[in-house]
Amino acid sequence: MRFFSIFFLIICLSSCDKKNSTSSNQNLDALDNDSISISEKYYKEGLEYYDNGELEKAKESYKLAIDSCVSKNFNVHYKYFSDLFGIYLSKNEYGDAIASIKDFEQLDVQPKIDKMKLAYAAYIAAYSGSSSFTEALDYTAKLYQISEETNDSSYKIHAIFNESSIYHKLGDNKKAFNVLNDLRNSNSNFSSSELSFITGDLGMYKFYEGDFKGAIDNYSTSLFFYKKSKIQSRTDNIAVQYANIAEAYIELNNLEKAAVYLDSFRQLDQGKVDNKRRRNVFKYELRLLKASKSDNKRLESLVDKITLDQEKFYSERYNKDLEYLSEEKEKSETLLIENQQAELDRLALRNNFILIISILIIGLLVALFFVFKQRRDNEIKALRDQQRLLRAQMNPHFIFNVLSNIQNLLRNDSKAASRFITKFSRLLRKVLENSMQNYVAVVEEVEVLTNYLELQKLRFPKLFIYDFKLDERLNDEMISIPPMLIQPFVENAIEHGFKGINYTGEIKIELIFTTENKRFLSCFISDNGKGHTHVNNEDKKSASVQLISDFIKKSTGSSIETNYLDLDQKTGTLITFQIPIQ
């Protein structure tokens, strides 16, 4: 949340005071003393009601002061009207505010040009507050024109400033910035107060455009001029800029400097700082703690610090109330004690609410963490169970095929069968060893594949040849992969791809890293057989291949790709997939 400059009528009204102070004194001497005393009596009564927070009674007193005033002096009517108008704005009673301006315009006040300027400025404030921006811009143009004609720089500045503010409310921050920046770059001689307002809002527009460094530069300039100024709200405006600079540094992730400006904010007299700003600074301090990943003790310390600060703030306010109420009798003192207790209860309730919300948020975050961790653990366990299921279903299938081959050899060539059985026993032992592991070294898996291919060559001596191509990095690093993922595709090539061919088949197995991502190993299995269409027609997709496809999908997020090796002739098969590694 951003802090906006409070600029309503400050420049123009101060200008009116300076320009009309001499004439005002002269005219006041000539006024009827009774009429002055009656209107002033109502006005002072309204001030007392206002100081006590009784705004409705204050409004009625200010209206009586205006109605009973017979003076034609601008300054007299200005203070009555401006205080009444200010109450309407503070209560968002914009309809009544506009009606009071129309009544003010009907008054016979001298000089009339000053009355007109003040009325235009008031219309701008009322229409802007009620979000009637078209009307507000119209009166901004009127105020600018009349200021140009009378060479009144204060009202001119006020018109431009409000034009910028209206564009901001319309969401056009770029135009708002340009209007205000042109004002700052003009040849006008600004006071420290005017420069502080202008640069403060320029910083705000920079912030909304995401230029946080530019925002800090303008906020710092505004802070400099606020420190030089002597306006009544000086402390509160300095607090605004400290808070704005801290927020910009938080956005830039410069947490150290953000902490410095938040500490500067806390060093100010908090009794003179608007409570809304204090709440916003508390939010910034929470953001700072979150960004710096501080532990719960820091959060608790911040809550304690804010609690003490709030107690100090309210204690100071109570003391001021006590000074006023001490002049009253027992009834007023009893009322003060009740109000104090109510405020303390409200403060305690709010602090307890903040503490409970903080605990609930922390508890929710912890619960979400454990739920996420449990879900991930379950997914990993399911994946490993899937791997074991894959091997459990693949190994009997593989052994059955080999035994069938041995049976055929025993019928035709007993010596070859003996050699086959010897190689098979070695292969079987290695397969059984690997089946107990989730991952095996790449070199061991290649060894199993080599033994399997040699067994098949004993069975089909002239049917095919094979070749392995391994990434050079596999020799330098201890890389492991899930076992028995490649063998079923090699078996399909021999049993189906080379079935009935009249030339020497060729199987190539390639394991390489194709990307910088070393979480997966790319596997390419190619053969120059009849092609995958003939294979699919002759034999349905085996259960082992389907299990491998499901496993690859779950563990890598990718699918197994099957293409022709020779696209023109539609022969040969190229199998491509990713293998998870450890």
DSSP letters along 76-126, please? HHHHHHHHHHHHHHHTT-HHHHHHHHHHHHHS--BSHHHHHHHHHHHHHHH
Long-range contacts of 24-33 (CB under 8 A, 24+ apart): 24/73, 24/74, 24/75, 24/76, 27/71, 27/72, 27/73, 28/71, 28/73, 28/76, 31/70, 31/71, 31/73, 32/70
Average pLDDT over residues 310-332: 65
Q: Answer whether residue 250 is part of any domain.
A: no
Give the separation between CA 546 and CA 551, rounded to whole angstroms.
9
Report pLDDT for 209: 87
Judged against a pLDDT cut of 70, whether residue 489 lies above it is answered with yes
* Domains identified in the chain, total number: 1
> Where does 185-328 have alpha helices with state H?
192-208, 212-228, 234-251, 255-267, 275-291, 296-325
Q: Residue 531 domain-assigned?
A: yes
Question: Where do we find the tokens 């189906």?
Answer: 496
Q: Is the pLDDT of residue 556 over 80?
A: yes
Q: pLDDT tens digits, residue range 71-112? A: 888 888 888 999 999 999 888 999 999 999 999 999 888 888
How confident is the model at residue 132, as a pLDDT?
93
pLDDT in tens, 27-38: 444 444 444 578
> What tens digit of pLDDT does each residue of 256-268 get?
999 899 889 988 8
pLDDT(538) > 50: no
Any idea what the CATH number is for the domain that residue 510 is in?
A: 3.30.565.10
pLDDT band per the 50, 70, 90 thresholds, residue 396: low
| Mean pLDDT along residues 168-174 | 87
For residue 38, being part of any structural domain is answered with no
User: Of all residues in the chain, what percent carry a pLDDT higher than 90?
Assistant: 27
Q: How far is CA 476 from CA 197, 448, 521, in A?
A: 67, 20, 15
Residue 398 lies in a domain: yes
pLDDT digits 0-9 by tens, 69-81:
888 888 888 889 9
φ, ψ for residue 505, nearest 5 deg: -75, 155
- 495: domain range? 379-580
Prediction pTM value? 0.44
**pLDDT tens digits along 201-216:** 899 888 988 999 999 9
Please report whether residue 325 resides in a domain. Answer: no
What pLDDT, on a 0 to 100 scale, did the predictor assign at position 578? Answer: 92
Place of tokens 């009834």: 331
Ranges 19-23, 483-487, 510-514, 573-577: which has the least confidence? 19-23
Residue 95 counted as domain residue: no
Q: Left (φ > 0), alpha (ψ -120 to 50) or beta: where does 131 sit?
A: left
Cis previous bond, 461, omega within 30: no
User: Is 143's pLDDT higher than 90?
Assistant: yes
Examine residue 448 and state whether it is found in any structural domain, yes or no.
yes
104's tokens:
């003010």
What is the C-alpha to C-alpha distance for residues 252 and 261, in angstroms, rounded to an integer? 14
For position 3, what pLDDT does the model report? 40
Q: What average pLDDT does the chain have?
A: 80
* Residue at 412 is within a domain: yes
